[in-house]
């Protein structure tokens, strides 16, 4: 069995050096832009180039995160950035945005691509779509159990899983809380982490109902070896060097079958301990906060950890051979595991007092401290009449090491092509419909009773609501768009249910994650993109068209002016009314705090705002406290073809009133969301 690689985070050059010296096989970093950890120190282009060289000298690989969503106004800048990263010879790029994917494939055609966890890939069909799109590796969602990871890792695409570090409450790529509350978008790398603030299901101001413990799966490494996982990822680009170094050392020991110290790792950083709840399927005792005791425990272990990376790690053995002859330049040869290298130095001189003996030669040539090499011996036959100064020997050694370093870098760096003639071309803009379609999103059929559906173009209904409905009126079959689970707990079962309702004439599928594009195409559905695909630029929308989506809802993180500027080539719509879903979570905060029997379907924050919470098929959604509406702005938007009215717990009468008021463009709701104020 090939052991998985250790993939370490580095938010600064100091951390990068620390994780390399502790044994990381791969390092992932972010630049000064387009990175999902914009608040880390991050790396300039020059620093990225230096980091790539350093990694390659160690025999490690450097991955750069370009895993934010991109606006149309940023696409040219992004293309130039990709050229710079290609010139820096990084080994792989971590990508979220489908438009970014398009640009990278044009600008750097043989760059290795990894699908970011921000793409919410958590099922086999999601991974298969990534493979078909050109990704070599997929970074799986952190919320997966052992069985699901095992299934995906058998597909022939490289898999990367998180094994240590912070857990977001929300599934990555599906959190809009920070954006909605403070305009700091997680999809843009600026999450303000409001989830770590007090929330409660029972009005307890001291509770933190949305704060999870950090994960640690290091004790399960044998499983990952058996599964054939490609890479084990440590979260923490915003953490200090000691944290990353300790996590790498602990994971390396575990992979090597050596004793490993979880307690020290816990002392460096934890939130009341660690959890492996998602992996094992036991999702109890997963919540935690950073306590005073946690902070104090770190102070005791940090100096000890610094010692583990104070010295440069040795990664190669060098055998030396020294030759001195009268009237000839001295020759020094070094041989490593793959090559031999030689340099020429000064011509030796006649010894006046003492000729160069073996002891003196070995002393100077073996001075490899501060390098990545072990001295593995010297072959030297002294000449009884010749000598050479210590400085001359030192200069030859330094030059030889410099040459070996350069060769190691060259040997390990990727051979990349770059298209310097790339010119951004946006798709031709589709003419916008004169009459806006109206679509309803409801949670059950009861919300449709006594509503005149004649003017409603599509009705978006949950899959299980359709399955459980005994008699679906024939006049609405053609209008139904099935909304499958946003998080796929059992893909085989979900596909079976979708096949079942396809057989009764339902033909439209809402693709709220990328896996459903693959599934829907296979089953013959007409595909509609949902907000969870995070469509914010024209190229990403074009990709959806190529994947057979007939239309898509654009992200509600866009301003109306940005939506108007999109060069869409399929019809686009927007969420125009409702409590927007702020989080998609796999661990219900209400169940954890008060239990399901006491559930009143809401949590509150420290300002007493109430956020509805509803569970569906193994996951929960946390909705905004405020009702969003742009009814009074619709007529000023020139680039949308339909709008969606989404309902959570409204009665059928309330649904009917909203439809009526929307048709009359009445002002309603308590917020316009991000459509006016936008995100950073």
Q: How many CB atoms lie within 10 A of CB 29?
A: 30
Burial profile 524-541: b = 16 or more Cβ within 10 angstroms, e = fewer: ebebbbbbbbbbbbbbbb
- What's the Cα-to-Cα distance from 22 to each of 7, 79, 123, 231, 604, rounded to whole Å? 12, 34, 33, 16, 44
Among candidates 110, 61, 56, 24, which has minimal Cα distance to 412?
Answer: 56
Question: Which range, of 34-38, 125-129, 208-212, 385-389, averages the lowest pLDDT?
Answer: 34-38
Assigned token pair, 437? 């379609």
According to DSSP, residue 649 is labeled S
Among candidates 181, 297, 251, 221, which has minimal Cα distance to 23?
Answer: 251
Look at residue 40 in the predicted model and tell me its pLDDT: 77
- 3-state SS, residue 410: helix
- Average pLDDT score over residue span 37-48: 88
Assigned token pair, 585? 């979570």
Distance separating alpha carbons of residues 577 and 556, to the nearest angstrom: 11
Distance separating alpha carbons of residues 126 and 114, to the nearest angstrom: 13
The separation between CA 638 and the C-alpha centre of its own chain, rounded to angstroms, equals 34
Look at residue 291 in the predicted model and tell me its pLDDT: 87
Residues 6+ apart with CB under 8 A from 363: none
Among candidates 463, 517, 466, 507, which has minimal Cα distance to 489?
Answer: 463
Look at residue 293 in the predicted model and tell me its pLDDT: 84
Burial (Cβ within 10 Å: 0-12, 13-18, ≥19) of residue 473: exposed
Assigned token pair, 174? 């599906």
Look at residue 450 in the predicted model and tell me its pLDDT: 85
| Contact of 29 with 65, CB cutoff 8 Å | yes
Q: Inform me whether the pLDDT recorded for 297 exceeds 90.
A: no
| Contact of 153 with 228, CB cutoff 8 Å | yes
Distance separating alpha carbons of residues 434 and 548, to the nearest angstrom: 24
- The edge-to-edge listing of strands for the beta sheet with 331-335 is 340-344, 331-335, 316-323, 373-380
pLDDT tens profile 573-589? 999 999 999 999 999 99
The two beta strands, 526-529 and 508-511, are: parallel
Distance separating alpha carbons of residues 217 and 162, to the nearest angstrom: 8
| Contact of 546 with 102, CB cutoff 8 Å | no
pLDDT tens profile 244-256? 999 999 999 999 9
The separation between CA 98 and the C-alpha centre of its own chain, rounded to angstroms, equals 14
Distance separating alpha carbons of residues 477 and 675, to the nearest angstrom: 33
Residues 6+ apart with CB under 8 A from 14: 241
Burial (Cβ within 10 Å: 0-12, 13-18, ≥19) of residue 253: middle
Residue at token pair 């040869």: 333
Residue at token pair 């996951």: 619
| Contact of 218 with 254, CB cutoff 8 Å | yes
Q: How confident is the model at residue 470 (pLDDT cuts 50, 70, 90)?
A: confident
Side-chain half-sphere CA neighbours of 646 within 13 A: 23
Look at residue 579 in the predicted model and tell me its pLDDT: 97
pLDDT tens profile 253-286? 999 999 999 999 999 999 999 999 999 999 989 9
Look at residue 427 in the predicted model and tell me its pLDDT: 96
- What's the Cα-to-Cα distance from 255 to each of 269, 337, 377, rounded to whole Å? 21, 23, 30
- 3-state SS, residue 349: strand
Q: How confident is the model at residue 96 (pLDDT cuts 50, 70, 90)?
A: very high
Q: Inform me whether the pLDDT recorded for 296 exceeds 90.
A: no
Look at residue 680 in the predicted model and tell me its pLDDT: 84
Distance separating alpha carbons of residues 31 and 11, to the nearest angstrom: 9
Residue at token pair 């010295």: 311
* Full DSSP string of 406-472: HHHHHHHS------TT----PPPPPPPPSS-EEEEE-SSGGGGTT---TT--EEEEEHHHHHH-S--
Q: How confident is the model at residue 288 (pLDDT cuts 50, 70, 90)?
A: very high
Side-chain half-sphere CA neighbours of 596 within 13 A: 5
Q: Which residues pair with 274 in a beta bridge?
A: 214
- Phi first, then psi: give them for residue 320, nearest 5 degrees: -110, 150
- 3-state SS, residue 377: strand
Assigned token pair, 221? 């490494």
| Contact of 271 with 202, CB cutoff 8 Å | no
The two beta strands, 26-30 and 61-66, are: parallel
Q: Inform me whether the pLDDT recorded for 1 exceeds 80.
A: no
- Phi first, then psi: give them for residue 646, nearest 5 degrees: -110, 135
pLDDT tens profile 140-159? 999 999 999 999 999 999 99
For residue 509, give the H/E element and its range.
Answer: strand 508-511
Q: Inform me whether the pLDDT recorded for 39 exceeds 80.
A: no
> Percent helix, strand, coil in the chain (nearest 5)?
35, 20, 40
Share of residues in the chain with pLDDT > 70 (%):
100
pLDDT tens profile 367-421? 999 999 999 999 999 999 999 999 999 999 999 999 999 999 999 999 999 999 9
Q: Inform me whether the pLDDT recorded for 308 exceeds 90.
A: no
Residue at token pair 């929307």: 662
Assigned token pair, 592? 């954890």
Residue at token pair 């790396």: 43
The two beta strands, 526-529 and 572-578, are: unpaired
Distance separating alpha carbons of residues 392 and 628, to the nearest angstrom: 76
Assigned token pair, 532? 């969870």
* Full DSSP string of 587-632: S-HHHHHT-GGG--SEEEETT--EEEEEEETTEEEEE-SSPEE-GG
- 3-state SS, residue 318: strand
pTM value is 0.96
Distance separating alpha carbons of residues 143 and 425, to the nearest angstrom: 38
Among candidates 285, 252, 250, which has minimal Cα distance to 265?
Answer: 250
Residue at token pair 């005073």: 292
Longest dimension (CA), the chain: 112
| Contact of 254 with 219, CB cutoff 8 Å | yes
Distance separating alpha carbons of residues 181 and 187, to the nearest angstrom: 14
Look at residue 294 in the predicted model and tell me its pLDDT: 84
Task: Give the CA angle between residues 395, 401, 402 to the nearest 5°.
Answer: 90
Question: Which range, of 301-310, 491-500, 550-559, averages the lowest pLDDT?
Answer: 301-310
Q: Inform me whether the pLDDT recorded for 292 exceeds 90.
A: no
Among candidates 460, 474, 1, which has minimal Cα distance to 223?
Answer: 1
pLDDT tens profile 585-606? 999 999 999 999 999 999 999 9
Distance separating alpha carbons of residues 294 and 271, to the nearest angstrom: 7
């Amino acid at each position: 069995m090939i052991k998985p690689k250790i993939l370490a985070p580095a938010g600064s050059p100091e951390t990068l050096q620390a994780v390399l010296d502790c044994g990381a096989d791969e390092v992932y970093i972010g630049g000064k832009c387009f990175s999902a950890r914009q608040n880390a120190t991050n790396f300039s282009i020059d620093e990225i180039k230096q980091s790539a060289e350093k990694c390659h000298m160690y025999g490690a690989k450097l991955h750069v995160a370009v895993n934010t969503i991109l606006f149309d106004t940023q696409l040219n800048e992004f293309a130039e950035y990709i050229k710079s990263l290609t010139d820096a010879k990084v080994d792989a790029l971590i990508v979220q945005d489908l438009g970014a994917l398009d640009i990278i494939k044009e600008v750097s055609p043989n760059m290795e691509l990894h699908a970011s966890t921000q793409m919410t890939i958590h099922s086999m069909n999601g991974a298969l779509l990534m493979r078909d799109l050109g990704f070599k590796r997929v970074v799986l969602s952190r919320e997966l159990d052992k069985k699901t990871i095992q299934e995906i890792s058998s597909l022939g695409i490289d898999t990367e899983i998180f094994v240590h570090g912070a857990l977001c409450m929300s599934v990555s790529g599906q959190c809009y809380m920070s954006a909605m509350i403070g305009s700091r978008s997680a999809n843009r790398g600026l999450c303000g982490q409001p989830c770590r603030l007090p929330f409660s299901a029972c009005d307890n101001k001291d509770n933190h109902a949305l704060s999870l413990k950090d994960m640690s799966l290091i004790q399960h490494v044998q499983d990952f070896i058996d599964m054939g996982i490609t890479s084990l990822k440590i979260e923490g680009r915003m953490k200090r060097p000691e944290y990353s170094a300790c996590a790498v050392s602990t994971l390396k020991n575990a992979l090597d079958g050596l004793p490993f110290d979880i307690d020290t790792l816990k002392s460096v950083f934890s939130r009341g301990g660690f959890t492996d709840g998602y992996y094992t399927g036991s999702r109890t005792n997963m919540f935690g906060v950073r306590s005073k005791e946690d902070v104090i425990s770190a102070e005791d272990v940090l100096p000890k950890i610094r010692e583990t990376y104070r010295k440069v790690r040795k990664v190669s053995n060098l055998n030396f051979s020294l030759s001195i002859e009268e009237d000839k330049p001295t020759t020094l040869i070094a041989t490593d595991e793959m090559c031999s290298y030689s340099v020429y130095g000064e011509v030796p001189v006649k010894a006046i007092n003492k000729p160069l003996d073996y002891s003196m030669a070995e002393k100077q040539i073996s001075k490899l401290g501060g390098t990545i090499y072990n001295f593995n011996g010297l072959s030297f036959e002294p000449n009884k009449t010749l000598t050479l100064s210590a400085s001359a020997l030192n200069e030859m050694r330094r030059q030889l090491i410099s040459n070996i370093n350069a060769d190691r870098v060259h040997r390990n760096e990727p051979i990349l092509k770059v298209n310097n003639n790339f010119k951004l071309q946006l798709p031709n803009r589709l003419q916008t419909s004169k009459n806006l379609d109206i679509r309803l999103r409801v949670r059950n059929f009861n919300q449709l009773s006594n509503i005149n559906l004649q003017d409603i173009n599509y009705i978006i209904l949950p899959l299980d609501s359709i399955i459980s409905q005994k008699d679906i009126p024939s006049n609405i079959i053609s209008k139904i768009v099935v909304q499958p689970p946003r998080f796929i707990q059992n893909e085989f079962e979900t596909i079976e249910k979708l096949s079942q309702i396809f057989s009764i004439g339902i033909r439209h599928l809402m693709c709220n994650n990328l896996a459903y594009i693959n599934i829907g195409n296979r089953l013959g559905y007409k595909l509609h993109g949902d907000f969870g695909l995070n469509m914010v630029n024209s190229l990403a929308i074009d990709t959806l068209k190529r994947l057979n989506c007939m239309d898509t809802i654009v992200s509600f993180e866009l301003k109306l002016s940005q939506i108007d500027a999109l060069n869409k080539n399929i019809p686009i719509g927007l969420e125009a009314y409702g409590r927007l879903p702020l989080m998609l979570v796999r661990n219900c905060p209400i169940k954890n705090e008060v239990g399901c029997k006491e559930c009143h379907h809401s949590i509150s924050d420290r300002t007493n705002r109430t956020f509805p919470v509803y569970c569906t098929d193994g996951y929960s959604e946390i909705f905004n406290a405020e009702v969003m509406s742009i009814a009074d702005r619709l007529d000023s938007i020139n680039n949308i073809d339909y709008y969606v009215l989404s309902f959570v717990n409204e009665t059928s009468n309330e649904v009917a009133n909203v439809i009526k008021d929307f048709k009359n463009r009445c002002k309603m709701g308590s917020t316009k969301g991000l459509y006016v104020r936008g995100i950073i």
